[in-house]
Homo-oligomer: A and B are copies of this chain.
Amino acid sequence: MLSCRQSRESERAAGSIRPAFRSAFGVARVALIALGVALCAAGCTTPATTTAAPPAAVSAAAALPSWRDGRAKQTIQKFVADVTREGSPNYVPPAERIAVFDNDGTLWSEQPLYFQFAFMLDQVKAAAPKHPEWKNNPAFKALVAKDYGALAGLQKQVLQLVAVANSGMTVDEYDKTIRNWLATARHPKFNRPFTELVYQPQLELLAYLRANGFKTFIVSGGTIEFMRPWVEQAYGIPPEQVIGSSQVVQYQMHDGQGTLVRQPKIDFVDDGPGKPVGIYRSIGRKPILAFGNSDGDLQMLQYTASGSGPHLALLVHHDDAVREFAYDRTSKIGKLDKAWDEAIADGWTVVSMKDDWQTIYPAPKQ
Contact = CB atoms under 8 A, between A and B. Distances in A.
A259 B228 CA distance: 29
A69 interface: no
A204 B239 CA distance: 27
Interface string A16-56: 00000000000000000000000000000001111100000
A224 B284 contact: yes
A314 to B, nearest CB: 16
Nearest to A171: B280
B95 A280 contact: no
Given A251-B273, A273-B250, A302-B258, A285 B93 contact: no
Interface in A280-298: 280-285
A169 to B, nearest CB: 13
Interface in A230-260: 232, 238-242, 246, 249-251, 253, 257-260
Given A251-B299, A276-B258, A95 B49 contact: yes
Copies in the complex: 2
A96 interface: yes
B277 A251 contact: yes
Decide if the interface of chain A is mainly helix, strand, loop or mixed: mixed
A251 B49 contact: no
A50 B240 contact: no
A70 interface: no
A277 B306 contact: no
Given A239-B285, A303-B258, A306-B257, A280 B249 contact: yes
Interface string A292-327: 000000010011011100000000000000000000
A173 interface: no
A259 B246 CA distance: 23
A267 interface: yes
Given A50-B94, A95-B49, A242 B284 contact: yes
Contact of A283 (B239, B251, B283): B239
Best-surrounded residue of A250, A253, A257, A258 (most CB of chain B within 10 A): A258
B277 A240 contact: no
Best-surrounded residue of A47, A242, A276 (most CB of chain B within 10 A): A276
Interface in A147-195: 171
Contact of A258 (B93, B228, B259, B306): B306
Contacts of A267: 281
Contact of A277 (B49, B250, B253, B302): B250
A71 interface: no
Contacts of A276: 251, 258, 260
A306 B259 contact: yes
Contacts of A47: 285
Contacts of A273: 250-251
A335 interface: no
Interface of A: 47-51, 93-96, 98, 171, 215, 217, 224, 228, 232, 238-242, 246, 249-251, 253, 257-260, 267, 273-274, 276-277, 280-285, 299, 302-303, 305-307
27 contacts: A47-B285, A49-B93, A50-B93, A50-B94, A51-B94, A98-B240, A215-B240, A224-B281, A224-B284, A239-B283, A239-B285, A240-B282, A242-B284, A249-B277, A250-B277, A251-B273, A251-B274, A251-B299, A251-B303, A258-B276, A258-B302, A258-B303, A258-B305, A259-B306, A260-B303, A267-B281, A282-B282
